[in-house]
A and B are shown apart, each in its own frame.
Chain A
Amino acid sequence: MADFIQLFVNGLALGSVYALAALGFVIVYSATGVVNFAAGQFVMLGTFSGVAMMVNLGLPWPIGYGAALLAMVAFGMLFFTLVYLPLRASPVVTVIIGTVAVGIILQNAALLGFGSWPFRLTSPLEGVTLDIAGAVITAHAALTVVVTAVLVGLIWLLFYRTALGIGMRAVAQDMEAARLMGLNVNLLLALTWVLAAVLAGIAGLLLGPMWFADVNMGDPIALKAFAATIIGGFGSLPGAIAGGLIVGLTELLGASYISSAYKDLIAFVVMILFLLVRPQGVFGERIQDRG
């Protein structure tokens, strides 16, 4: 039982990171229709802005986290201006390859800047453990789950209780109509990309202490975020969260009870099964063959 609780909490923590990555992916997809294949590299960049601020510059953690997230805000704006705006009139597939190209640039720029040796990004709660019914859980895992839950709450408030969030939802629903209503569509789209970059940044900072900070960590994260998105329902915010948690739990429970070599395959089999049986996912997208 203790073993199960430990696996379950660690699965939830990993799933929370996937959920945050998937959330950024889904927010961008709903607002802009862009399937962001650089989503994993966004998370990697988040981890490495943490490395840059706290390991290389040696900033104390409250300032370091803040600086890392500010760097992600700047990155989100840069991405919006240099990649999204020039490509937005292009066909879906060109945009897909465009984001892939950005992923290649980011990954190799990180490789140039930080080298191929992994870094250790420590948690502010390093070494602290909790004892729940005989299971030993790192405080960082618990923190990850709590941070994700709080963020989900904040995002809900943003989207459903503030004028800004309602504007972003209006843009996501119908860009032209939003423009006709006098909304500043470009500003709202820019904010969408910034929000996605910040969410990815937080995911990266939380993931750093769980894995090593490695410039190649983007691809596995992206693949899990895609699987989470499909399982939860493309374009659905609650779906991204549910999908992330399902993939995280499947990964850790599957590795321990089924096969550790095939743990990733389990997530993809679940994803393909969902695609075949219920392509709209758990929560479902309204417009089915968009894009």
Chain B
Amino acid sequence: MRLRHPLLAALVILVLGGLLSLVLADYRLRLLNVSVISAIAVIGFNFAFGLAGLISLGSAAFVGFGAYSLAILTTAAGWSPWLAMIVAIVVTTLFATIIGTPLLRLKGHYLALATLGLNVSFTIVATNWIGLTGGTNGISNIPGLSLAGFAFDDERRFLWLALLFLAVCAAIAIALQHSRHGRAMMAVRDDETAARMIGIDVTRVKIAALCLSAAFAGLAGVLFATHMRFVAPEDFNYAHSIVYLAMLIVGGEGSVAGAIIGAVLLTFLPEWLRFLGDAYLAFFGLMLLLILIFLPTGLIGLATRVRDLAKKTAKRSTP
């Protein structure tokens, strides 16, 4: 399942998702929408973490920044959601540049804790700047998206739109990952000093990775806002950043397919565990821990290992 070709990946997403949209019932469709939106954020986060190796625990703040920007522009300023969408993504990316430039001098767990602090600060501001954000009540009555009279107003229709965005994002991400820029990011991740030696502008690459992840997170945020039609601070607290990170690790870091699989799996997993009643979250934590211990390279890594093993066995049987 290592999709390297951008167009092929987009096609697979559209066909698979489209088929699912026809067979699933309403509640499952809602979950699928949530996982598609998360997948966009996680694909973005993969630039920062999977490729450039930046341990950021603040991606939910960028998603929230996008969602709140759209919510405020459409409700308080009365903008069209499409225009607000573009502006929200641009504003989120700018915000990431301004915040990221000083923070990206930090490394490893320093960066992790700084971005965690950033995410907590975002929640505090969203909760307390009541005049702008509505405080804990959040912002409701966010208008939905529609195109030429076709309103994406139920779960199935929204899914078609979300899948389209996901397909485009995945294609862009795969193309970038296998380009010069993607390789530069990986070089920075693997050895910063060596990367600098061969003439890579490390700071610029890091900021580019963060901006890309913020742009994807911003898109996820505006989709979230137009899907839920409501935003509130707790939707973007730091626990969500950790879930995004967990999605990427469970799926397989450094891979777009892994990001999507992780997002879908971790969105549906709590639902599959509903039969456990109140114990399901404790069980969810346990599953996560077991995956980390026994599948350190994620599900994509497992697939690769199985394929390599199969190849080896095939070689051995045909001398």
Contacts and interface: CB of A to CB of B under 8 A. Distances in A.
Nearest to A259: B128
A291 B124 CA distance: 29
B292 A101 contact: yes
Given A100-B246, A112-B279, A265-B124, A271 B117 contact: yes
Interface stretch (B84-92, B163-171, B211-219, B280-288): B280-288
A87 B285 CA distance: 15
B282 A92 contact: no
15 contacts: A90-B296, A91-B296, A93-B245, A96-B245, A101-B246, A101-B286, A102-B285, A264-B124, A265-B124, A269-B121, A275-B103, A275-B106, A276-B102, A289-B107, A291-B109
B289 A101 contact: yes
Nearest to B243: A100
B221 to A, nearest CB: 21
A35 B246 contact: no
Contact of B292 (A37, A90, A289): A90
Interface in A111-147: 111-112
Given A92-B55, A104-B281, A97 B108 contact: no
A265 B121 CA distance: 6
A91 B118 CA distance: 24
Contact of B120 (A98, A102, A223, A229): A223
Contact of B110 (A87, A112, A279): A279
Interface of A: 35, 37, 83, 86-87, 90-94, 96-98, 100-105, 107-109, 111-112, 219, 223, 226-227, 229-230, 234, 261-262, 264-265, 268-269, 271-272, 275-276, 279, 289-291
B31 interface: no
Q: What are the nearest 9 A-B pairs in CB distance?
A: A104-B285, A108-B282, A105-B285, A291-B108, A101-B288, A108-B281, A101-B289, A261-B128, A268-B117
Contacts of B49: 93
Given A105-B282, A272-B118, 14 more contacts: A35-B112, A93-B55, A97-B292, A98-B289, A98-B292, A227-B117, A229-B113, A262-B124, A264-B124, A268-B120, A268-B124, A271-B113, A272-B103, A276-B102
Given A223-B120, A261-B128, A86 B108 contact: no
Given A108-B282, A112-B282, A97 B249 contact: yes
A261 B120 CA distance: 13
B203 to A, nearest CB: 15
B114 interface: yes
B191 to A, nearest CB: 13
Contacts of A261: 127-128
B125 interface: yes
Interface string B5-31: 000000000000000000000000000
Given A104-B281, A223-B120, A268-B120, A93 B249 contact: yes
What bracket does the count of chain B residues touching chain A fall in?
A: 35 or more
Interface of B: 49, 55, 102-103, 105-110, 112-114, 116-118, 120-121, 124-125, 127-128, 239, 242, 245-246, 249, 278-279, 281-282, 284-286, 288-289, 292-293, 296
A104 B292 contact: no
Nearest to A115: B278
Given A262-B124, A265-B121, A275-B103, A97 B293 contact: no
A102 B286 CA distance: 7
Given A96-B112, A104-B282, A269-B121, A86 B288 contact: no
A130 to B, nearest CB: 33
Contacts of A265: 121, 124-125, 128
Nearest to B237: A219
Contacts of B278: 108, 111-112
B309 to A, nearest CB: 21
Nearest to B239: A219
A105 B124 contact: no
Given A90-B296, A97-B242, A262-B128, A290 B288 contact: no
A90 B289 CA distance: 12
Count chain B CB atoms within 10 A of each CB in A83, A93, A103 and give the residue with the most.
Answer: A93
A259 to B, nearest CB: 8
Nearest to B118: A272
Contact of B109 (A91, A234, A264): A234
Contacts of A92: 55, 108-109
